[in-house]
Structure 1
Amino acid sequence: MLKRIAQSQPKITTDNHAVIYYVLGTLIALGPFSIDMYLQAFENIATDFHTTKHAVELSLTSYFIGISLGQLAYGPIMDKYGRRNPQLIGLLIYIIAAFACYFATSLTWLVIARFFLAVGASAGMVASKAVVRDIFKNNMDVARAMSFLMLIMGAAPILAPYAGQLVVNHFNWEYIFLFLGGFSILMFFNVLFLLPESSTPNKKVSLKPLSILDKYIGILSNPEFFTFSIAGGFTIGAMFAYVSDAAILFQDVYGIENFGLLVGLNALGLIAGSQINRYIIKKIGVLQLTLKISIMLIIIAVLFLINVLTFNNFYASFVLLFIMMTFLGFQNPNCTSLSLNPFGKKAGRASALVGSIKMIFGAITSGVLSGIGIKSALPLAIISLVLYILSALLLFRYNKRVKLYRNR
C-alpha cells in the first residue's frame, strides 16, 4: 500500500507549497508539544514517582539525547531512501513511544520512553529542514522559508502549556502522552497522503557506521558549517536551559504556580522574532544581521545576570527572558540556513547534523541544571551568558576570516 501511494504522490509545484508548509510545520510542532506540554506536570510526576522535580528533568535530558542521536541516524537514511518513507517510520516509533510514556510506572520507564519518543520526533526535524533545502535554491530563500515554518508551528509552544495545564487540572498527567499519541497518528496520515517526495533516493549512500561517521566528520570539517552549526548550537543550548528550568524557575523561585501563560508569551517572542527576521534580512543580509543579534543576546544576558544577583525581580526577569527569546527567533533560522548553504540539495546529513548539534547542547545544559539541583535563577543566567559569548566569538571569528580573504 505504501509503495502504491509513494508512486502516485503529488509533485512539488509552486501551487502546493502551502500544503507542504502545513505538513512540515505540524511535524515540527511535535517537538514543542513533546517538551512544553508536560512541563506543567513536573510536580505531579515527581509526586507519583516519589522523587524531585530536578530528577524529573532527566526525562528532558533523555529526550534531547534521543533527538540528537535520532537525527544523526535519519540523515543518511533520508539521503539513501528519500525524505518521506523514513518520516513515516519515525512517526510509527513516536506513536509507540507516546503510549509507552502513558503506561509508565516509574521514572526510569518514563526516561527511557522519552528517549524513543525523541528518536521518532527527530525524523520530522531532519525532513523539514532537508525538504526546505531541496525546494529552495539560495541562502535567503531558505532563511525566509525556515522563518515561515516557525510561524506555521508557532501556535504549538503557545498552546502546549495551556493544553498541558488543562490535562493536569482535569485528568492524570499520563493523558498528556495519550494526546501526543493521537496527534502523531494524525501527522502520520498527513505525511502519507499530502507530503510529496522532494529528493531522489540515492541507493549508493552507505549506512555502514564507519562510513556514516566519516561523512559526518567531513561535513563538520567544513568551516562554514562548523561555525554556524556550533554557534547556533550554543544559543539553542541556552534556550533549552531555560525550557528545562522553567518549572523550577517560575514555581519555586518566583512562586508562579500556573506558569503556562509565561512560557507561551516567551514562545510568542520567539515566533515574532522569526517573522520580523524574514523582512529584515532583505535589507541587512543574513550574516550581518546574525552578528548584530549575537551582540544583543550578550547584552540581555548580562542584564539578566545583574538582575538575578541584585534585585532578582520577577518582572525584570520575565521581560529580559522575553527579549532573549525574541532575539533567538532571529538567530536560529539564520544560523541554520547559513550552515546548510555549502551543501545545496545534498542537505540530508547536514540537516541532521545541525539539528543533532543543537539537541546535544540542549542535553548538556538540561543535564547540568538537573545536576546542580538548586532553586535559583543564577545557574541559568550564567549558562546563558557563557553560551552567548562563545557563539558570538565563533561568528565574529568567521566574519574576520571572510573579510581577510576578500581583501587578498
Structure 2
Amino acid sequence: MSAPDSVPNPPKNPFLVIFTLGALSTISPFAIDMYLPAFGQIAKDYGTTTAHVGLSLSTYFAGMALGPLFYGPLLDRFGRKPPLLFGLGLFVLTSLGCIVSPNIETLIWLRLFQALGGCVASVAAMALVRDLFPPKDTAKIISLIILTIGVSPLLAPTIGGVVAATLGWHWVFAFLAAIVALILTLAMLLLPAGKPADTSVSLAPWPIIKTFAGIYRNRTFVTYLFAGGFSFCTLFIYVSGSPVIFMDIFHLKPETYGLIFALLSVGFIGSSQVNVIVNRYFPSKQILRVALTVQCIIATLFVIGAWLNVFNVYGTVAMIFLLLSCIGFIGPNSSATALSSLTRDIGSGSALMSFTQIGLATVVSAVVSNLHATTMTPIVAVMAVCALIGLAILILGNPKSAAATTDAA
C-alpha cells in the first residue's frame, strides 16, 4: 500500500525545518571527517600507531550501522523527538568523555557510544521528512538535506586540522560537543513532533524482529532500498580507494589530493540540487531508472579505460566526477520511493534503510581496502559491479522498470 499524497499537519516554516533536518544529518559526517587530520597527534599522545587510532573510526562505523536497529522501534513507539533528544545528549556526553580519555582503548570504546548516540539524527531526520512532507516532495527535501551534508567533506577536515594544529586534538571533540549541543537546541525549538507515539509498537525483541521482517517483505521497499544501496556503495568505494588512486598511483601531494576531494564532492552535492529541479517535471522512479542506467554505462567505460591504461589524472577525475554526480540523483529518489511505500513503522523503515546502506557500504569499502591495489582497475571494477547490481535489482524487483527500460532503448 502506498502512502497518502498529503500530510495532516505540514510544517509552518518549511525552511527552518529543512535546515534543522539537514543539520541533524551532518552530525555523523562531521564526527568522522573532523578528527581525521588529528590521527597523528592522537597516536603520539597515546604512544601508539595511527593504525591503532583507526580502530576508533571502525567502532564509529559499527555504531552507525547497529544503532538504527534500536532507534527505529523507539522512534515509532515514543514519537520522533524523545529518542532523538536522548541520542543527541548521549553524543554530547561521550564527546566530552573523549576529551578526557586516559588511553586509546577508552577512546575507541567511547567512539562506539558516540556513534550510537549520533546515528539517531539521520534516522529521525528521514522519518520526519516522511511525516512532515507529502511523498511527491520527499525526494526534493532529501536533495536539500544532501546539500547540507555536503558541507562535511568540504569543511570538516579543514576545521579539524586547524583546531588540532592550534589548540590540540582534544578540542576537536569539544567542538563536536558544542556543535551537537546547538543542534539539539534547534531540534527542541524548531522541529515539529511528527508522527505521534504509537503505544501498539512493542519493544520486545521478537515483535521488533517481526516488524523488521515485515518491512523486508515489502517488495517495493526492498527493491528501491537495495538498488539505491548498491549505487551508494560506489561513494564509499571512492572514499576508501581515492588515496590509493591519487597519492599512490598518480603520486599527488596530500594538499592536491585534498583539493581534488573537495572538487569531486561538488559533483555529488551539485547533482542532488539539480535533482530538486528535475523532480518538478519527472517522477522519482523515472529519474532513478535513468540515473542508474547512466551510472552503469559510465562505470563500464571507466573499467575498460582503466584496464587499457588510457586515463591520466584529469580523465580519472572526470570519470569519478560523473559517477558521483549520478549518486546525487539516485540517493534521494531511491530513498524517497522506498519510504513512500510504507504506511506505518516508518521509523523502523528508516532505521533499516540506514542499517542496510551503511552495512553494505562498510563491507564493500573493506573489500576495497584489502585489495592492496597497485592500479586503479580493481577499485573501479568494484564500483562497476556495485552499479550493475543496483540496476539489476531495480529491473528484477520491478518488472515495469524493465519494460520501461526496454521501451526507452
For this structure pair, what is the TM-score category when the shorter chain's length is used for normalisation? 0.7 to 0.9
Q: Alpha-carbon deviation of 1:56?
A: 5.2
Matches within 5 A, 1:71-90: 71-90=68-87
Describe the shift of the 1:30–1:163 C-alpha distance in structure 2 as closer, same or farther (beyond 3 A): same
Q: 2:238 aligns with which of 239, 242, 253?
A: 242
Q: Is residue 2:117 matched to residue 1:124?
A: no
Provide the residue aligned with 1:313 in structure 2: 312
In structure 2, the partner of 1:217 is 213
1:329 aligns with 2:325: no
Letter in 2 for 1:302: T
Specify the code of the residue in structure 1 equivalent to 2:380. Answer: A
Q: 1:225 to 1:114 in 2, by over 3 A?
A: same
Tell me the alpha carbon deviations over residues 87-122 of structure 1, each in whole angstroms, 9 at most, x when there is no partner.
111111211232344445655444433322221121
The equivalent residue for 2:265 is 267
Return the letter of the residue paired with 2:91: Y
Residue 142 (structure 2) aligned to one of 133, 140, 146 = 146
Alignment of structure 1 residues 361-372 onto 2, 5 Å: 361-372=360-371
Q: What is the one-letter code of the residue matched to 1:79? A: D
1:201 aligns with 2:180: no
Number of the residue aligned with 1:6: none
CA distance in 2, matches of 1:332, 1:158: 19
Q: The residue matched to 2:194 in structure 1 has which SS?
A: coil
Aligned to 2:302: 304
Q: What is the RMSD of the two structures over their aligned residues, measured on CA atoms?
A: 2.7
1:100–1:306 Cα change, 3 Å: farther
**In the alignment, which residue of structure 2 is the partner of 1:93?**
90
The equivalent residue for 2:5 is none
Instruction: Give the 3-state SS of the residue equivalent to 2:162 in structure 1.
Output: helix
TM value normalised by structure 1: 0.87
Is the contact between residue 307 and residue 316 of structure 1 (CA under 8 Å) also seen in structure 2?
no
Q: Is the alpha carbon distance of 1:165 and 1:121 closer, same or farther for their aligned partners in structure 2, counting shifts above 3 Å?
A: same
Distance 2:218 2:227 in 1: 14
Alignment check: 8 A CA contact 2:27 2:180 kept? yes
One-letter code aligned to 1:162: T
| Structure-2 separation of matches of 1:13 and 1:56 | 45
Aligned length: 393
Which residue of structure 2 lines up, in the alignment, with residue 114 of structure 1?
Answer: 111
- Tell me the CA shift for residue 312 of structure 1: 5.7
User: 1:156 aligned to 2:161?
Assistant: no
Query: What is residue 350 of structure 1 aligned with on the other side?
Result: 349
Worse-superposed segment, 310-319 or 55-64: 55-64
Tell me the CA shift for residue 265 of structure 1. Answer: 2.1
Alignment partner for residue 231 of structure 1, among 223, 227, 230? 227
- 2: CA distance, partners of 1:237 / 1:245: 12
Report what 1:284 is aligned to. Answer: 282
Query: How much does 1:63 deviate?
Result: 2.3
1:390 paired residue number: 389
Cα distance change on mapping 1:158 and 1:39 into 2, 3 Å: same
2:17–2:191: 8 Å Cα contact kept in structure 1? Answer: yes
Rounded to whole Å, the distance in 1 between the matches of 2:318 and 2:40 is 25
Correspondence for 2:16? 19
Q: Structure 1 169/26 Cα, relative in aligned 2: closer, same or farther at 3 Å?
A: same
Letter paired with 2:268: L
Query: Is the partner of 1:15 in helix, strand or coil?
Result: coil
Equivalent residue of 2:26, what SS?
helix
Inter-partner Cα distance in structure 1 for 2:42 and 2:306: 28
Superposition deviation, residue 162 in structure 1: 1.9
Distance apart, 1:171 and its partner CA: 4.2
CA distance in 2, matches of 1:100, 1:244: 28
The match for 2:28 among 23, 28, 31 is 31
Tell me the alpha carbon deviations over residues 24-43 of structure 1, each in whole angstroms, 9 at most, x when there is no partner: 11111112212222343455
Q: Secondary structure at the match of 1:197?
A: coil
The TM-score normalised by the length of structure 2 is: 0.87
Distance 2:56 2:380 in 1: 22
Letter in 2 for 1:292: V
C-alpha change, 1:74 and 1:45, in structure 2 (3 Å) is: same
Inter-CA distance 385–69: structure 2 relative to 1 (3 Å threshold): same
1:52–1:305 Cα change, 3 Å: farther
The amino acid that maps onto 1:347 is I
Q: For residues 239-292 of structure 1, what are the alpha-carbon distances to aligned partners after superposition, in whole Å with 9 as ceiling and x for unaligned?
A: 122223444544444333123332222222111111111221333321121111
Deviations 1:131-166 (A, max 9, x none): 11011222x211111112222444233211321332
The aligned residue for residue 380 of structure 1 is 379
Consecutive unaligned residues of structure 1, counting only runs of 5 or more, are: 1-10
> Once the 2 structures are TM-superposed, how far is the Cα of residue 373 of structure 1 from its aligned partner?
4.6
Deviation, 1:333, is 0.6
Q: Distance in 1 between matches of 2:377 and 2:67?
A: 32
Q: In structure 1, how many angstroms separate the alpha carbons of the residues matched to 2:219 and 2:205?
A: 24
- Counterpart in the other structure of 1:8: none
